[in-house]
Homo-oligomer: A and B are copies of this chain.
Amino acid sequence: MEFKKKSTIYQQIVDFVAEQILTGVFPVESKIASVREMAAKMGVNPNTIMRSYTQMQEEGIIYNKRGVGFFVSTDAPIFIKRKLRDDFIKDELPEMIKKMKLLEIDFDEFEKMYER
C-alpha cells in the first residue's frame, strides 16, 4: 500500500480499515487480520498496526478476544459514520463555506442543488 505524506501512516491505516468495514469487505463481527499479518501486508512495522488497532478499539470500532484476535464491532458502521460526519463538519465544511463566500455563491443556489 502507498501512503501519503500529509497524514501519519497509522492514521491512514485506520481510515483504510474503516472504509473496508463500511463497504462490507470486513463484515460486522468478522475477524480482521492479525497485527503481524496486517503489518506484512501493509509493509509496515507491527507496532504501527498495533497503534491503529488500539485507537480503533478505543473508538469502539473493533474489539479484542484474548488469544484470538480483533473483531469488527456490531456498531462499527455507526461509529465510523459518526466520526466521518464529525470530521467533515469540523474540517471540510468550514473550508468549503469559506470558498463559497469568496466566489459569492448564493445560499439559495446551494439550497436548490441540495433539494434536487
Residues of A within 8 A of B (CB): 81, 84-85, 88-89, 92-94, 96-97, 99-100, 103-105, 107, 109-111, 113-114
Contact = CB atoms under 8 A, between A and B. Distances in A.
B85 A114 contact: no
B113 A93 contact: yes
B104 A81 contact: yes
Identical copies of this chain, number:
4
A23 to B, nearest CB: 12
B110 A93 contact: yes
A84 B102 CA distance: 10
A70 to B, nearest CB: 20
A94 B114 CA distance: 8
